C-alpha cells in the first residue's frame, strides 16, 4: 500500500538507501556465492554484461569499472544480443530487476547455448532468468510497484560496486557509508530537484551530460524523464556533445551535467561551452565542485569516497523526473505505453 505516500515512485525512492543497505549486507553474507562469482569472472576471457533499460545503465557502470582495471568487459543491450557471439570462455552477467524481461531471457538462453557461464543479478526469487543461471545473485530492494525503476536501480548499482571492488581487490569498507550517502543526497536535493523538475516540465527537450561513470547516470536520468514525464531527453558523454548535439543548443536549452568528481576540469570546459551558447545549465556534482565562481545552479553532494558518487547521483536524477511528471500532471507510477515487466520481444 501507499502508506501515506502520494505515489509508489516517491515511496520507493525513499526506500532506496535501505534497499542498498539490505542488498549489500545480504550479498556479503553469501560468501561462497560471491567467491564463485569472482572466480567465474576472473577466469573468463571476456565478461559480457547483458540487460535492458535501467538495468543496462546500471550494468554499464560495472563494465566501465572492469574495463578500467584491464578486464575484457563488454555491455550488450539485451535485444541486440545477435551482435555478439559468445563461447565457453565467456562469462555472462545478466542483470534484470524482474528476472522476466523477454529480451534478457532470450539473450541469456542464446549465450548459454553457446556454452558461456551465466551469472544473474535479479531482484525477485524464483524468476526465469535466475533459474537458467549457473549463479543467481540477488539485490534486496523488495517489491517495486512503480513502473519506473528507482530503488532497484540504486540497489543494482550498490551490488555492482561491491562486485567490482571485490574483483579489483579493493577493501569494501567504503560501502558501509552507502546508505547515509544516498539518504543525505536525497535530503540535500529534494528542494533543488523540485525546482529543476518544474522548469524542465515546460521544455520540449533537454540534454543530460556526464563523463566517465557519470555517463551511465546521465543515460538513466534521460530515460527516467522521458519515461514518466514525457519530456524528450538525450544523454551524451559531455565531450561528445560538441560533435553534433550542440547544434540544438540555443537560448534557454536545458543541459544537466552530472559530475561524479573525476573529470572536473574537462566538465568545467563543457559547462562553459554550453553557457556560451546561452544554454540553461544545471550541475549536480558528487564530491568535487566544477565551477570556480559561485554558480547558483551547481549543487554539491557529499561523498566520503569517490566510488560512492554513482549512488549519490541516483536520488537527484530520479527526483527530477518525478517532479517533472508531477508538474505535468502525469502519474509517475503508471506511464503510458509501458509495462513494469516487458515480456514481449
Ligand atoms: O526487469 P528488468 O530490469 O529486466 O527491466 C528492464 C527494463 O524494462 C526496465 O529497466 C525499464 O527500462 C524501466 N521501466 C525503467 O524505469
Q: Which value does ipTM take for this structure?
A: 0.98
- 148 closest CA partner among 345, 328, 318, 327: 318
Strand-pairing partners, residue 49, are: 75, 93
**Test site for ligand 1: of 101, 146, 149, most ligand atoms within 8 A of the Cβ:** 149
Residue 153's Cα: distance from chain center in Å? 6
3-class SS of residue 166: helix
A 10 A CB-CB count for 224 gives 28
What is the CA(282)–ligand 1 centre distance, in A?
Answer: 27
Per-residue b/e over 307-325, b at no fewer than 16 CB within 10 Å?
A: bbbbbbbbbbbbbbbbbbb
Half-sphere exposure of 303 (CA within 13 A, CB side): 27
Query: What does the pLDDT average to over 37-58?
Result: 98
**Given the C-alpha cell 563488454, which residue does it identify?**
74
Instruction: Give every CB contact of residue 223 below 8 A, 6+ residues apart in sequence.
Output: 53, 54, 57, 233, 235
Quick one: pLDDT at residue 293? Answer: 67
- The verdict on the CB of residue 41 being under 6 Å from ligand 1 is no
What atom in ligand 1 is closest to the CA of residue 342?
A: 8
Quick one: pLDDT at residue 296? Answer: 63
Q: Is the pLDDT of residue 338 over 70?
A: yes
For residues 283 and 301, what is the distance between their CA atoms, to the nearest angstrom? 11
Asked if 217 contacts 317 with a C-beta cutoff of 8 angstroms, the reply is: yes
**Test site for ligand 1: of 9, 51, 53, most ligand atoms within 8 A of the Cβ:** 53
- The verdict on the CB of residue 61 being under 6 Å from ligand 1 is no
Residue 133, all three cell numbers: 543461471
Reported in sequence order, the residue ranges of 124-189 that DSSP labels E, i.e. its strands, are 135-138
A 10 A CB-CB count for 174 gives 17
Quick one: pLDDT at residue 337? Answer: 86
Backbone angles phi, psi at 344, to 5 degrees: -115, 160
- The verdict on the CB of residue 101 being under 6 Å from ligand 1 is yes
Q: Is the pLDDT of residue 340 over 90?
A: no
Dump pLDDT digits (tens) for 118-164.
Answer: 999 999 999 999 999 999 999 999 999 999 999 999 999 999 999 99
pLDDT confidence band for 90 (50 / 70 / 90): very high
- 129 closest CA partner among 111, 108, 114: 108
**Test site for ligand 1: of 52, 151, 223, most ligand atoms within 8 A of the Cβ:** 52
Strand-pairing partners, residue 206, are: 233
Quick one: pLDDT at residue 292? Answer: 67
What is the CA(342)–ligand 1 centre distance, in A?
Answer: 8
For residues 41 and 155, what is the distance between their CA atoms, to the nearest angstrom? 20
- 233 closest CA partner among 188, 196, 187, 277: 196
What is the CA(150)–ligand 1 centre distance, in A?
Answer: 10
3-class SS of residue 26: helix
Asked if 93 contacts 119 with a C-beta cutoff of 8 angstroms, the reply is: yes
H or E segment to which residue 252 belongs: none
Quick one: pLDDT at residue 294? Answer: 62
Amino acid at each position: 500500500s501507499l502508506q501515506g505516500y502520494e505515489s509508489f515512485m516517491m515511496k520507493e525512492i525513499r526506500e532506496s538507501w535501505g534497499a542498498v543497505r539490505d542488498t549489500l549486507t545480504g550479498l556479503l553474507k553469501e560468501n561462497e556465492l560471491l567467491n564463485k562469482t569472482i572466480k567465474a569472472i576472473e577466469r573468463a576471457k571476456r565478461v559480457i554484461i547483458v540487460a535492458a533499460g535501467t538495468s543496462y545503465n546500471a550494468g554499464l557502470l560495472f563494465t566501465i569499472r572492469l574495463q578500467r582495471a584491464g578486464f575484457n568487459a563488454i555491455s550488450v543491450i539485451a535485444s541486440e544480443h545477435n551482435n555478439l557471439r559468445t563461447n565457453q570462455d565467456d562469462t555472462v552477467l545478466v542483470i534484470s530487476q524482474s528476472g522476466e524481461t523477454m529480451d534478457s531471457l532470450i539473450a541469456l538462453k542464446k549465450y548459454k547455448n553457446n556454452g558461456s557461464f551465466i551469472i544473474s543479478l535479479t531482484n525477485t526469487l524464483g524468476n526465469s532468468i535466475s533459474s537458467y543461471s549457473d549463479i543467481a545473485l540477488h539485490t534486496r530492494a523488495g517489491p517495486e510497484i512503480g513502473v519506473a525503476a528507482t530503488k532497484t536501480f540504486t540497489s543494482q548499482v550498490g551490488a555492482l560496486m561491491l562486485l567490482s571492488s571485490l574483483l579489483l581487490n579493493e577493501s569494501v569498507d567504503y560501502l558501509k557509508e552507502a546508505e547515509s550517502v544516498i539518504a543525505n543526497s536525497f535530503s540535500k536535493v529534494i528542494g533543488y530537484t523540485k525546482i529543476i523538475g518544474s522548469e524542465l516540465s515546460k521544455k520540449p527537450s533537454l540534454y543530460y551530460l556526464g563523463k566517465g561513470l557519470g555517463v551511465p547516470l546521465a543515460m538513466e536520468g534521460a530515460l527516467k524523464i522521458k519515461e514518466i514525464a514525457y519530456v524528450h531527453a538525450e544523454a551524451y558523454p559531455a565531450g561528445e556533445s560538441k560533435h553534433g548535439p550542440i547544434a540544438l543548443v540555443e537560448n534557454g536549452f536545458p543541459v544537466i551535467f552530472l559530475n561524479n568528481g573525476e573529470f572536473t576540469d574537462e566538465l568545467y570546459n563543457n559547462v562553459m561551452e554550453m553557457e556560451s551558447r546561452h544554454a540553461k545549465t544545471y550541475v549536480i556534482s558528487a564530491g568535487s565542485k566544477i565551477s570556480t565562481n559561485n554558480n547558483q545552479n551547481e549543487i554539491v553532494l557529499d561523498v566520503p569516497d569517490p566510488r560512492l558518487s554513482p549512488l549519490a547521483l541516483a536520488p537527484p536524477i530520479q527526483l527530477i523526473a518525478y517532479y517533472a511528471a508531477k508538474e505535468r500532471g502525469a502519474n509517475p507510477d503508471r506511464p503510458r505505453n509501458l509495462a513494469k515487466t516487458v515480456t514481449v520481444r
